[in-house]
Amino acid sequence: MRATFDKPNIIFILADDLGYGDTGYTGQRDIRTPNLDAMARDGIQFTRAYTGAPVCAPSRCTLLTGKHTGHTRIRGNGVYQLRESPDDICIGDVLKAAGYTTGLIGKSGLSGNIDDGGHPNRKGFDHFVGFVSHAAAHRHYPTTMYKNGKPLPMPGNQGKDGATYDNTVFLKESLRFIRENAAKPFFLHIAPTIPHADLAAPEQFINLYRGKFTEEQAGAGAYRKTAEPKATYAAMVTYLDHMVGEVLATVRDAGLAKNTLVLFASDNGAMQEGGYLRKWFQSSGELRGGKRDIYDGGIRTAQLAWWPGVIPEGSKTELPTAFWDFLPTVCELAGAKAPAGLDGISYAPTLHKRYGRQTTHGVLYWEFHEMGGRRGVLLDGRWKAIQYDVNAAKQGAVEVYDTRVDQSEKRDIARERPDLVDAAKRAFTAERTADPEYPFKG
């Protein structure tokens, strides 16, 4: 057994399209999340945590590289992947060099729609099981996935239905990884594919909700259709919660709790696709918008951190933080050298006072390259500025919100505070490096 607090194990569980309001600890009343609620009671809630982007590929890229979307290689969904090291350094490279055994299980955040099953292993992950294509990850009964560069067939699966639910595979692989690496420091990134559509869940979890809601129908498009979209969505969230509970129980059973930091978050805000409408469960809570929005409903996440004996139970922090802070944080915890050119800051001091005084961001920045182009900044942890239709013939106006008193972003104060509009425009320019694949008009 290793000495506690020396190169702690680090586990990051990243949900897919979970809304800020989908958990009990953020106010959800219809969907059960007992394990996440307990994790919140036993650890710390980051009440002002932000994702990297309002959709999955760029958001996950910021988490794993420590750079925001003004500087990352992947700034949108599509056929992209991080370049071979050292052109794009990611967390797998850094922690493996620091002596960690590294694992990535689920939906790779290192790429978009590619077919290169060995890519995660080349990016510093010793063990990988899951999807490298985000389009393939829409199917919860895939015919095949990848395991360390080789196809992993799923007999009996037809894509939208089948014998083996993808997240049961991810859970088993995650628990096995923890048990097999208990004697040495490890980093494990668990990336379930729920509650992103397709809408599908194991029957015993759907049974928890069957008949409890008046079911409605919404357009599912190319996704799997179900007669019970509300019960199925709720079941997916509760299965995600079950996964978290099993991970924490395994950490405890292995005697690793006092030397393991476990974090939980979602990659972006609540989805509205695949036959699900976020209004059914108020998935964004009181936040405005959802997935694909730069409003907080699209980029706020109900982040948790759990580390028994280190993080005081029942803690909360209003520290404005974003996904690109994760890499510098784990570098500090692991005693690893942080790569050059990061946009993040370490929030290790918020986890424990031994790490000194917490620094803060002057600016947080996001950009989004669908729907005419969107971008936003948070200035001094308070003033949120948003611009839509960046690439339109008539560029959208800059909106400004005081998040200290208006977390629902209902009152635009841009006319009252032209100084903040000017500051936002300067930040829009200063915080990004031009990229021909992701053009902005200005």
Which of 88, 100, 121 lies closest to 261 in space, CA to CA? 100
DSSP SS3 for 64: helix
Residue 37: which H helix or E strand, with range?
helix 34-42
Phi-psi category of residue 20: left, alpha or beta, with phi > 0 → left and psi -120 to 50 → alpha: alpha
pLDDT of residue 252 exceeding 70: yes
Please compute the mean of the pLDDT values over residues 428-438 and round it to a whole number. Answer: 95
Q: Within its chain, how far is the Cα of 287 from the centroid?
A: 17
Per-residue confidence (pLDDT) for residue 112, from 0 to 100: 87
Per-residue confidence (pLDDT) for residue 5, from 0 to 100: 55
Per-residue confidence (pLDDT) for residue 2, from 0 to 100: 44
Per-residue confidence (pLDDT) for residue 105, from 0 to 100: 98
Distances (CA, A) of 400 to 96, 397, 412: 42, 10, 5
pLDDT of residue 4 exceeding 60: no
pLDDT interval class at 1 (50, 70, 90): very low
Report the sign of the C-alpha dihedral through residues 420, 423, 427, 428, in that order.
positive
How crowded is the C-beta side of 247, counted as CA atoms within 13 Å? 34
Write the DSSP symbol of residue 26: G
Q: Which of 100-104, 109-113, 237-241, 299-303 has the lowest mean pLDDT?
A: 109-113
Please compute the mean of the pLDDT values over residues 92-120 and round it to a whole number. Answer: 95
50-77 per-position pLDDT tens digit = 999 999 999 999 999 999 999 999 999 9
Looking at residue 387, its amino acid is Q
Q: Which of 18-27, 78-87, 226-235 has the lowest mean pLDDT?
A: 78-87
- Number of helical (H) and strand (E) elements in the chain, helices listed first: 11, 15
Residue 419: which H helix or E strand, with range?
helix 418-430
Please compute the mean of the pLDDT values over residues 84-104 and round it to a whole number. Answer: 96
DSSP SS3 for 125: coil
Per-residue confidence (pLDDT) for residue 280, from 0 to 100: 98
**Phi and psi at residue 239, in whole multiples of 5°?**
-65, -40
156-205 per-position pLDDT tens digit = 999 999 999 999 999 999 999 999 999 999 999 999 999 999 999 999 99
253-308 per-position pLDDT tens digit = 999 999 999 999 999 999 999 999 999 999 999 999 999 999 999 999 999 999 99
**What is the Cα–Cα distance from 16 to 191, expressed in whole angstroms?**
8
Distances (CA, A) of 284 to 70, 235, 296, 300, 302: 25, 18, 9, 9, 10
Residue with the bigger pLDDT between 113 and 301: it is 301
Per-residue confidence (pLDDT) for residue 154, from 0 to 100: 97
Per-residue confidence (pLDDT) for residue 394, from 0 to 100: 92
HEC string of 69-112 equals CCCCCCCCCCCCECCCCCCCCCHHHHHHHCCCEEEEEEECCCEC
Per-residue confidence (pLDDT) for residue 435, from 0 to 100: 93
Per-residue confidence (pLDDT) for residue 6, from 0 to 100: 77
**Could you give the domains of the chain?**
9-355 (3.40.720.10), 371-430 (3.30.1120.10)
Average pLDDT, the chain: 96
What stretches of 149-263 show up as alpha helix (H) in DSSP? Answer: 166-180, 203-206, 229-253
Please compute the mean of the pLDDT values over residues 425-434 and round it to a whole number. Answer: 97
Q: Which of 2-11, 196-205, 211-220 has the lowest mean pLDDT?
A: 2-11
Which of 192, 303, 301, 308 lies closest to 261 in space, CA to CA? 308
Which of 371, 420, 386 lies closest to 288 in space, CA to CA? 386
DSSP states of 364-379 = EEEEE-STT-EEEEEE
